[in-house]
Structure 1
Amino acid sequence: MQQALPIVARIPRIGRFGWLMGLYAENHARLTRLFAPAGLACGSYVSSLGDGLDVRLDVLERHRYTVELRLTYDLCDPVTGEPDPSAYLRLYNDARQVETTHCYVGRRWQDVIGMYPPPAEVVGHRLRMNTFLGKWLQYLAEQGHGVATLRPAPPLAAPRAPLAAVARD
């Protein structure tokens, strides 16, 4: 005689790592639909809607299977002189995934969670960064940014010295 299994046992469960890989694939679809970065040459591009919040996409490096990108608003942080918010992305052409490597200049995962974090903390940190990217890409699409609004732009000027350093000099 067969026994009925509880519903929980019949529904497959996705782990945090599987969820993260799903986010990478979802972000690839969103970014590709939005800006088609795999076809862009190295350089800077700006998407402008006339609302004063231009979006900058910098194609930093191109490799055979990956493209290194920075997505930011065309604004600079008054303290650091760097674009903020920024998301540094790695687009994997062959795997059709986009990974957010870090979200702020000089703040790589080692700066945020330490040199030897437990694996669960690394996955949690990556989940947060890539969830942020997915929401940001969705927002940009809803605002009307896309391939049609993307234009080549001059690179950002060299970062200025922080205001605190200027005040000391």
Structure 2
Amino acid sequence: MSKVLARCVPLPKLSRFGWLMGLYAENHARLQRLFEPADLACGGYVSSIGDGLDLRIDVLARHAYTVELRMSYGLVDPQTGLFDPSANLRLYNDARQVEATHCYAGRRWQDVIGMFPPPERILDHRLRMNTFLGKWLQYLAEQGHGVATLRPASQVGIETAA
């Protein structure tokens, strides 16, 4: 019995970059399931579930393999005039990933990580932004937002800010 050794097999570690790429893929699946944004034309859309807090989705640009989006509520920060919270997203159709390029939740990225951050801080910030996006998309799904609640903003009487 003393000759039996406990063999410890090390598990492969997922790098922070690998974790970020996984978040991109998860967020793509969530966003696609919710709103099918790859099929939306440029313009503004509103998802209303009757709770008084409508979700705005602006399709800013469409390219061959990407779609640029902005998601926000109709709430405006009185100090900056920006929608709060909001997230600018880049949808990669070919890679099936969604990247949160900018998130505004009370503070700008310069205030969070500084003007000339080291690469590690940028990666950490991207992890936080995309984790926030994943939680927000999950919350929206739980609240009942989806393709069935999405209408062009012109039908709802809301102007879009491109």
Report the TM-score range of the alignment, normalised by the length of the smaller protein. 0.7 to 0.9
Matches within 5 A, 1:15-164: 15-104=15-104, 107=108, 109=109, 112-154=112-154, 155-156=159-160
1:111-142 C-alpha deviation (Å, 9 max, x unpaired): 54234322221110000000000000000000
Q: Tell me the SS of whatever aligns to 1:25.
A: helix
| Aligned equivalents of 2:115, 2:48: Cα separation in 1 | 39
Change (3 A) 1:81 1:116: closer
Q: Cα RMSD (Å) of the superposition?
A: 2.2
| Aligned equivalents of 1:79, 1:115: Cα separation in 2 | 21
| AA in 2 matched with 1:6 | C
The percentage of aligned residue pairs carrying the same residue is 75
TM-score (norm: length of structure 1): 0.83
Give the aligned length: 155
| AA in 1 matched with 2:57 | L
Q: Tell me the SS of whatever aligns to 1:103.
A: strand
TM-score (norm: length of structure 2): 0.87
1:18-71 C-alpha deviation (Å, 9 max, x unpaired): 000000000000000000000000000000011101000000000001100000
1:157 positional shift: 5.5
| AA in 2 matched with 1:114 | G
For residue 8 of structure 2, the aligned residue among 2, 6, 9 is: 6
